[in-house]
Structure 1
């Protein structure tokens, strides 16, 4: 028996060893180094003295940086809400589609993952810019409408392109565009396991479609909703590329500030402190969500 267990431990070590080493060498140890830097100070352009100071965290509490952090959470929360509102009907449509149609719809949802995020963002810039496809289409219809109204003696004013790029709208639009599949897939996974006889029973008992959706579908889809919120909210908070390319000076998020501390300002200790401030806040948000979910489950069990 002992020999069998020893052989089994050898198999476990052989299978689990490389992933454990990879996790330690390329994630946990670098993360620990950055965490250590957050308690240090620059002595010159190259060296950092680790002296246990909390000045970097105190500097991170400056209203300027706190405002950017709050803005990042606001953008992420708004993005998550929009993804939920848009993604829930999409997930329901996929769930109740035929098997053949369902496969094609899932393919369309996952298709963006086959293209690099940078390429997708530049494509979105081509859509949103002043001479982009949206403004071109609006100008086309506006000019034709102007010609028709001119015949009636009431010409329209010249078309002015909409400012859709390098502002807060572009950042939120881009984040929704990027994060929407991460909301749809968990929702679909939860709805696909839905017992449809419960829906039929609810309708047969006199509940309307809206009541059935509110009292049956949403509670049963709660695990998917929670998973979708988590996997959408957290990457949105730390988004860097989307606000960097689509946003303007007033649309900077905390990840952009962190990047500038490491690359431009050469202030690694402060950049490290900002990084872990963001991580601490994310952990607190997840913990609060877990406590609320646990309390809801206990209330339902009671």
Structure 2
């Protein structure tokens, strides 16, 4: 009599655990470590030193030494004594930035849309001034705007300047120097923004019966706003703290806040006032930048 054999049901083997995932959480931190060290050494520590300097006891001296006494009165005192150079620096920097925006946008637009095979050459010409010293470039403007230079002679010939008129030691010379020296900082971000615009969008605006001017303000200008914001910030911030142009191209009447800070640190050795004025300038610029970026509506930079 045959007996039925029962085949045992194979039991499911326990599922093998997946291999441990590689530890990638620390990879990002290792990658940002060099930048963090750089910022810590060359920004955080100097800023802490500057802030401590701004809180020195103003009665100290280089010989007797300074002490951090948290003398907050240094800030209103510095603002009361040097508010005019501070406002003058912001005014000059704002005008130079506006001029750079107009000139730089035209140049960047021409390079991005009209240059063709000459595009790379024009970009090299834009950055070519950086191959020479900032000081040499400013001194060359001192020669160009000299009282016996061809520009002054030409303006006097067409009666735009009087017989004794001059350009040096005037706000015009200082703003011209700022505009020239910082124009590449405006052109390059504008070009990078304009170069990414799809030309078919502009053609589509024309197909929808938009005039070239309307197409520019409805298509090109909004799409280039990130470059506008980046260029204006890169131009305004260093121009506001500049002191070379005012020193070489201006007179004591055109002293900017950078000149005052330099004199307080090096000549007067009034470290408390110099530090306080430097912190005030930083706070004012940071506040203006935050408001400007928020109001501009460029999400790329917020």
Give the shorter-chain TM-score range: 0.7 to 0.9
TM-superposed CA distance for 1:19, in Å, is 4.3
Give the aligned length.
Answer: 277
Q: 1:300 aligns to what?
A: none
2:55 touches 2:71 (CA, 8 Å); kept in 1? yes
Q: 1:119 aligns to what?
A: 136
Q: 2:173 aligns to what?
A: 170
Rounded to whole Å, the distance in 1 between the matches of 2:285 and 2:117 is 40
Correspondence 1:80 to 2:97:
yes
Change (3 A) 1:20 1:131: same
Correspondence 1:128 to 2:145:
yes
TM-superposed CA distance for 1:286, in Å, is 1.3
RMSD: 2.4
Rounded to whole Å, the distance in 1 between the matches of 2:79 and 2:188 is 37
Partner of 1:40: helix, strand, or coil?
A: coil
TM-superposed CA distance for 1:23, in Å, is 2.9
Rounded to whole Å, the distance in 1 between the matches of 2:206 and 2:37 is 54
TM-superposed CA distance for 1:45, in Å, is 2.7
Correspondence 1:212 to 2:218:
no
Correspondence 1:51 to 2:54:
no
TM-superposed CA distance for 1:87, in Å, is 1.0
Rounded to whole Å, the distance in 1 between the matches of 2:33 and 2:220 is 43
TM-superposed CA distance for 1:26, in Å, is 3.0
Rounded to whole Å, the distance in 1 between the matches of 2:20 and 2:26 is 10
Unaligned runs of 5+ in 2: 1-18
Correspondence 1:229 to 2:245:
no
2:55 touches 2:69 (CA, 8 Å); kept in 1? yes
Rounded to whole Å, the distance in 2 between the matches of 1:229 and 1:138 is 30
Q: 1:110 aligns to what?
A: 127
TM-score when scaled to structure 1?
0.84
CA deviation profile, 1:220-243 (whole Å, cap 9, x unmatched): 111111111111111111111111
Q: 2:273 aligns to what?
A: 270
Change (3 A) 1:209 1:270: same
Q: 1:27 aligns to what?
A: 43
Unaligned runs of 5+ in 1: 146-155, 298-302
Tell me which protein shows more helix as a share of its residues: 1
TM-superposed CA distance for 1:99, in Å, is 3.9
Q: 1:152 aligns to what?
A: none
The worse-fitting range, judged by mean Cα deviation, of 251-260 and 284-293 is 284-293
Report which of the two structures shows the higher radius of gyration computed on alpha carbons: 2
TM-score when scaled to structure 2?
0.84
